[in-house]
Chains A and B, each alone.
Chain A
Amino acid sequence: MRDARGNIRRLPGIRLWLSGGWLTFLVLAAIFAPLISPHDPLAQDLFAGRLPPFFEQGADPAYLLGTDSLGRDVLSRMLYGARLALIVALVAGTLTCLIGASLGLIAGYYRGWVDLVISRFIDIWMAFPPVLFAILLIAVLGTGLMSVIIAIVVIDWTRFARVVRAEAMGQGAMDYVASAQVAGRTRFGTALTEILPNVLPTIVALLTLEMGIAVIVEAILSFVNLSISTDQPTWGGMIAEGRTSIYQAWWVLVFPLFALFLTVLSFSQLGEGLKDHFDPVLR
């Protein structure tokens, strides 16, 4: 663990700095949203509807990024939307990682019938379009933060399971695993102390990618109005609203879309960077 962290600190590349910078900024913005939001994200002002952002004619300086059709402040809604996006990224990403990676590790190391069952489940999962599966789950579970997180974990655990299974299989065939066995380590102990540390870099890189995917899935679900309660601001919900009024008020769509772009791009660049960095061939 310690030297993995040491490596991250020495990561080169402007892309990774930019990605890390944007995500740090986003985390701070989300944490301090109640302090820095200029307005209540839910407060409607029908007399201030569809005000353009500050650089356009007819803007109100109190509403920096303009307002939507109900006169709600776009900037404040984006700041509160960042909270939800990051909570989903963190919680759903981590849970998906824990469940998927554990199943992959078990399947890849223990092989036999356990592997057969888990692999069959992965095959079955590959038969469903992920977004449709998520929407179906929300239809059944009802909307809400918990449902969104459960849906993401259920549709995406295979992403970890597939990769970790293949890696664990490769590692399991190595001599150092055999010597651990000879030294009298239990199977479970070997999996935990020998295999896991060696597949951990891959898992960390995948987790970063998964966080970006979780943000997108949440945005898609709120775009079709199936995420959390409708009165809570989300980027996807703002984008859906902006899509309908795109010719009258482009800013309602563009600003949250831009934030979503940067966030997903950052997670994925960070993940790709970590993947390259940990790649034994490149190392």
Chain B
Amino acid sequence: MQIVRALLTRLITTLITLFGAAIIVFVVIRVVPGNPIAMMLPPGASEADIDRLKALYGLDKGIFEQFVIWISNVVQGDFGTSITLRQPVYDLVIGRLPATLELSVMALLIAVVIGGAAALTATLYRGSKVEGGIDVAGGIALSLPDFLWGLALILLFGVLWPLFHISGRISPSLGFEFSTNFYLFEALARFRFDVVLDLMGHMLMPALALAIPLAAIILQLLKQSLKECMHDDYITLARTKGYAESSIILRDALPNAILPTLTLIGVQFTFLIGGTVIIERLFSYEGLGNMAIDAVINRDLPLIQGIVLIFALLFTMVNLVVDMAYAALNPRLRHA
């Protein structure tokens, strides 16, 4: 019963957060100096046209009524029409979302692999120069944000030693027709490994830039938890049984040490997704973030608003899933 109540409370706070986020977006968008209607119409539009459009968007009503109209549209997925692209914002946002999701998940995987491997290696060689080296590398990785790593990668692997693509999502010369916007997923499912390779070649650099700071965070926490585990009795027992140190770390210490790291990864995943905004721009990757910056430069307010709302929805959902996964994984909460 208690777990149901905890779940319900969590759902309600999520809804409050989402509603609050919607209010913030509404307030920020409506304090725009300048008339949003004037931006939608060509110069020289008649008074009647302006009034008609105002009535259409409910801008002739009070601010509270405007909010009610706006939020009821938003809840139904009606984010308005993009001013520059002249298409429904909902379609544009949904069309770009898969690219950003694929990039984020790829970056997350890379971060887990690099961070996890580094933590395990450092634990295996603890007290030696190897651990010292990994610590220094982790410290630097943590100190610099994804934006700087992206630029460094462009210089290293795009210019000095051109191994990977540093711009776009796919080579247009491939001429491959996708039926969904999950390019990587679709190419994998259709066994087109040439396309997969091309997609990966484009994704690797931006994904790595996003992954490096997170990998460093995973490294630090997992290493610390592993180190604490290594003094436990069951480790000594495994040692007296004669198992190799590496297999003790993997089989005995890791399962006991991993829970805090898993929670942290969940929390940090939203920060990683947030980083896609500038990283997509840097690598001209056709995702949501890149579209958001174009929208801001063109002052396309309906589009910006739609993208910000989608990100807010994504973030609160990720946080909700992480909390629930934590409750499911943690025995103390499961039996509460």
Q: Which residues of A contact B (CB under 8 A)?
A: 120-121, 123-124, 126-133, 135-140, 142, 213, 216, 219-220, 223-226, 239, 243, 246-247, 250, 253-254, 257, 260-261, 264-265, 268-269, 272
**In the assembled complex, B292 has its CB within 8 A of some CB on chain A:** yes
Interface centre among B28, B144, B148, B278 (most CB of A within 10 A): B278
Check A129 against B277 for contact (C-beta < 8 Å).
Answer: yes
- Cβ A135 vs Cβ B277 within 8 A: yes
B306 CB to nearest A CB, Å: 12
Complex CA distance for A96 and B275, rounded to whole angstroms: 21
- Taking a contact as CB atoms under 8 Å apart, the answer to whether A257 and B297 are in contact is no
Complex Cα gap A205–B21 (Å): 30
Given A124-B20, A135-B277, A136-B304, 17 new contacts (CB under 8 A): A123-B16, A126-B270, A128-B21, A132-B274, A132-B311, A136-B28, A140-B32, A216-B145, A224-B293, A224-B296, A225-B297, A226-B297, A254-B155, A257-B155, A261-B144, A265-B144, A268-B144
Distance of A44 Cα from B139 Cα, bound (Å): 41
Verify if B238 is at the interface (C-beta below 8 Å from A): no
Residues of chain A contacted by B140 (CB below 8 angstroms): 265
Least CB distance from A275 to B in Å reads: 12
Q: Which residues of B contact A120 (CB under 8 A)?
A: 16-17, 20
Whether the Cβ atoms of B31 and A131 lie closer than 8 Å is no
Binary CB contact string for chain B from 277 to 298 against chain A (1 if under 8 A, 0 otherwise)? 1100110000001001100110
Contact A216 B148 (CB under 8 A): yes
Cβ 8 A contact of B308, one of A126, A128, A260: A128
Q: Among the listed B155, B274, B282, B319, which residue makes an inter-chain contact with A130, where contact means beta carbons less than 8 Å apart?
A: B274
Closest to B279 in A: A131
Report B45 CB to chain A, min CB distance, Å. Answer: 23
**Contact of B247 with A by CB under 8 A:** no
**26 residue pairs A–B, Cβ–Cβ below 8 Å:** A121-B20, A126-B315, A127-B18, A127-B20, A127-B312, A128-B21, A129-B277, A129-B311, A132-B307, A132-B308, A136-B304, A136-B308, A140-B32, A223-B278, A224-B281, A224-B297, A246-B154, A247-B159, A254-B155, A257-B152, A257-B155, A260-B148, A264-B144, A265-B144, A268-B142, A268-B143
Closest 8 CB pairs of A and B: A129-B274, A124-B20, A268-B143, A127-B312, A139-B296, A127-B21, A131-B277, A127-B315
Complex Cα distance, B277 from A226, in Å, reads: 14
Contacting residues, chain A, for B17 (C-beta < 8 A): 120, 123-124, 127
Residues of A within 8 A of B142 (CB): 268
B residues less than 8 Å from A131 (CB atoms): 274-275, 277-278
B299 touches A (CB below 8 Å): yes
Which residue of chain A is the closest to B23 with respect to CB atoms?
A124
The answer to the question of B151 belonging to the interface, with a C-beta cut-off of 8 Å to chain A, is yes
8 Å CB contact of A239 from B16, B151, B158, B274:
B151
CB proximity of A177 to chain B, nearest CB, Å: 29
Main secondary structure of the interface of A (DSSP, over half): helix
User: How many whole Å from A211's CB to the nearest CB in chain B?
Assistant: 13
Contact between B21 and A220 (Cβ–Cβ < 8 Å)? Answer: no
Q: Which residues of B contact A268 (CB under 8 A)?
A: 142-144
| A124-B24 in contact given A138-B296, A246-B159, A257-B148 (Cβ < 8 Å) | yes
B121 at the interface (CB under 8 A from A): no
* Cβ 8 A contact of B145, one of A123, A247, A264: A264
Instruction: For the complex, give the distance between the alpha carbons of A52 and B293 in Å.
Output: 32
CB distance from A240 to the nearest CB of B (A): 10
Question: Contact mask B10-48 → A, CB, 8 Å, 1/0?
Answer: 000100111011001000110111000000000000000
Say how far A225's CB is from chain B's closest CB, in angstroms.
7
Tell me which of A123, A138, A272 contacts B13 (CB under 8 A).
A123
Please, which residues of chain A bring their CB within 8 A of the CB of B292?
132, 135
Shortest beta-carbon distance from A147 to chain B in Å: 12
Q: Bound state CA distance, A225 and B24, in angstroms? A: 24
Could you tell me the distance in whole angstroms from the C-beta of B122 to the nearest C-beta in chain A? 18
Do the beta carbons of B155 and A137 come within 8 Å of each other?
no
| B93: Cβ under 8 A from any A Cβ | no
Q: Does B273 contact A (CB under 8 A)?
A: yes
- By the criterion CB–CB under 8 Å, are A264 and B148 in contact? yes
Q: Which residues of B lie under 8 Å from residue A247 when comparing CB positions?
A: 159
Contact with A along B147-168 (1 / 0, CB 8 A): 1100110110011000000000
Determine the residue in chain A with the shortest Cβ distance to B267. A126
Q: A261 to B297, alpha carbons, bound, how many Å? A: 27
Q: Could you give, for residues 296-336 of chain B, a 1 whenever the CB lies within 8 Å of some chain A CB and a 0 otherwise?
A: 11010100100110011001100100000000000000000
Among B20, B296, B307, the one with the most A-chain Cβ atoms within 10 Å of its Cβ is B296
CB nearest neighbor in B for A216? B145
Cross-chain contact A127 with B316 (CB below 8 angstroms): yes
Chain A residues near B289 (CB-CB < 8 A):
129, 132
Q: Which residue on chain B has the smallest CB distance to residue A154?
A: B28
Given contacts A124-B21, A138-B296, A226-B296, contact A216 B312 (CB under 8 A): no
B148, A128: Cβ atoms closer than 8 Å:
no
CB of B296 within 8 A of CB of A135, answer yes
For the complex, what is the distance from the CA of A217 to the CA of B155, rounded to whole Å? 21
Contact of B159 among A129, A213, A250 (CB under 8 A): A250
B151 touches A253 (CB 8 A): yes
How many angstroms between the C-alpha atoms of A130 and B299 in the bound complex? 19
Expressed in whole angstroms, the minimum distance between the Cβ of B284 and any Cβ of chain A is: 10
A261 CA to B147 CA in the complex, in Å? 10
For residue A225, which residues in chain B have a CB less than 8 angstroms away from its CB?
297
Q: Which residues of A contact B33 (CB under 8 A)?
A: 140, 142
